[in-house]
Every structure is written in structure tokens, then in C-alpha cells.
């Protein structure tokens, strides 16, 4: 049995109305790999910055200095992985699929996995899907259940496990965060500088509602 690892991060929010601070898109990005060796390099980089006086628990693309981002992206160049992104323009989501945040999260995962799971989880493979823990303990359970349900619709139950972890505890989630951020910058702002640094690792980047014309708010 071949073990594979998938790490997920989201960009955008769950606000379904037009306000200045609400994102246009909800983006689900996953980083898939056969080995997590990159985690050691990311931890070593974090220790190096700690020696220089930084007390950051993790790398987070939105708040990191550009020099830090450059160093993280340089680590990416040394390790093989695959990135897949599902883009959802939130205004095109009917109210029936977003009665609450976990329900919309499940739909995002179902659309994502329907596209990529057959190729990523081959016969005999087992995959560990790790997502960053969201919100409170109660809502964390709801989000985990949503991901479980989405996986059950795409992958045989004996071939996957799910883990929800704090992003500070898993360096590979830092990498997923950087990939989601780079993709979001392209879609939300037209900024392709960081996207170009991972372009050769992006296996798919799909706006699943591209052909939809109805806006629900």
C-alpha cells in the first residue's frame, strides 16, 4: 500500500453578501505529496528566524515579510508536490447549498474531490487528508464531519483518514497556506508574482461555476 498525504487550506471567507471586506471567491487548495520531507526544511527555516529574534509559531503568507516568503518559496523548489485548487465565486452559490458554513465547506470539498480524487488515490493507495482546524471545538467537529462526508462520496472508506490540526503544529499546512495565498492573489487581485513560483506544481486550478450566470446576491 502506498501512503500519500494531502494538506488543505482555504482562502476567502464565508460571508455571502457584498461588503467591502467580503471575498469574491472561496478557494480550496490542496497540496499532495508522497513524502513530507519538506516539513523538516520549513522547521529549520523557522528555527533560523527564531535565532534572529522571531517568535512566530508558523509561516503565514498573508502576514509574513516578503523576505520570509522568498525563503519559503525557495524551499518549495527543492521538493516535489502537486497543487490543486477549486475556485468558487460565492455569489453564484444558491442559498440551498450554504445554509451554514460547514455545509458550504462540504460542497467545496465534494466539488474538489470529484475532480481530483480518482487520479490522486489510485488502487491500493491510502491517503491522509490534513486540514487546518477551524473555529471553535464545536464547529471544528462540524467541519471535520463535512470533510468526512465529502471523502466518502469520492474515495472508498478504507483508503483515507482525516486529521484536523492547528496550523502551527503541522509545517506542511504552512506550505498549503502559501499555495492557497498565491492562487488567491491571482484571482482576487490579478497579482501573479507568487503564483508564477508554483505554476509548475499546479495540476489543476478550476473555477467550477465559470459557466454559471445567475448571481444570488
| Residue 217 located in a structural domain | no
| Residue 194 located in a structural domain | yes
Instruction: Annotate 67-87 with DSSP letters as a single string.
Output: HHHHHHHHHHTTS--EEEEEE
| Residue 216 located in a structural domain | no
Grid cell locating 69: 516568503
Mean pLDDT across the chain: 95
Q: How confident is the model at residue 138 (pLDDT cuts 50, 70, 90)?
A: low
Its domain, for residue 69, covers 2-207
Q: Is 135 a residue whose pLDDT tops 70? A: no
How many domains does one find in the chain? Answer: 1
Q: Which long-range contacts (CB under 8 A, 24 or more apart) does 17-26 make?
A: 17/217, 18/91, 18/217, 22/90, 23/90, 23/188, 24/89, 24/90, 24/91, 24/187, 24/188, 25/87, 25/88, 25/89, 25/90, 25/184, 25/187, 25/188, 26/88, 26/90, 26/104, 26/108
| Residue 214 located in a structural domain | no
- Nearest residue to 131 via CA among 151, 114, 156, 157: 151
CATH code, domain with 8: 3.30.420.10
In the chain, % of residues over pLDDT 90: 90
147-167 residue pLDDT tens: 999 999 999 999 999 999 999
80-134 residue pLDDT tens: 999 999 999 999 999 999 999 999 999 999 999 999 999 999 878 999 999 988 7
| Residue 215 located in a structural domain | no
pTM for the predicted model, two decimal places: 0.95
Tell me what pLDDT residue 1 has: 73
- What does DSSP assign to residue 52? T
Please tell me which residue, 32 or 135, carries the higher pLDDT value. 32
Amino acid at each position: 500500500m502506498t501512503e500519500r498525504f494531502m494538506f488543505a487550506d482555504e482562502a476567502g471567507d464565508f460571508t455571502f453578501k457584498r461588503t467591502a471586506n467580503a471575498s469574491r471567491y472561496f478557494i480550496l487548495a490542496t497540496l499532495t505529496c508522497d513524502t513530507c520531507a519538506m516539513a523538516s526544511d520549513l522547521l529549520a527555516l523557522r528555527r533560523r528566524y527564531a535565532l534572529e529574534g522571531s517568535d512566530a509559531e508558523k509561516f503565514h503568507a498573508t502576514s509574513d515579510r516578503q523576505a520570509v516568503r522568498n525563503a519559503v518559496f525557495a524551499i518549495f523548489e527543492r521538493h516535489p508536490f502537486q497543487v490543486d485548487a477549486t475556485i468558487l465565486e460565492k455569489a453564484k452559490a444558491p442559498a440551498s447549498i450554504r445554509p451554514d458554513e460547514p455545509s458550504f465547506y462540504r460542497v467545496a470539498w465534494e466539488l474538489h474531490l470529484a475532480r481530483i480524487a480518482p487520479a490522486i488515490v489510485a488502487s491500493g493507495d491510502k491517503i491522509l487528508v490534513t486540514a487546518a482546524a477551524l473555529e471553535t471545538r464545536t464547529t471544528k467537529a462540524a467541519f471535520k464531519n463535512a470533510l468526512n462526508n465529502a471523502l466518502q462520496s469520492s474515495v472508498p472508506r478504507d483508503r483515507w483518514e482525516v486529521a484536523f490540526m492547528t496550523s502551527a503544529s503541522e509545517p506542511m499546512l504552512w506550505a498549503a497556506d502559501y499555495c492557497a495565498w498565491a492562487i488567491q492573489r491571482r484571482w482576487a487581485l490579478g497579482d501573479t508574482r507568487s503564483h508564477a513560483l508554483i505554476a509548475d506544481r499546479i495540476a489543476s486550478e478550476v473555477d467550477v461555476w465559470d459557466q454559471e450566470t445567475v448571481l444570488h446576491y
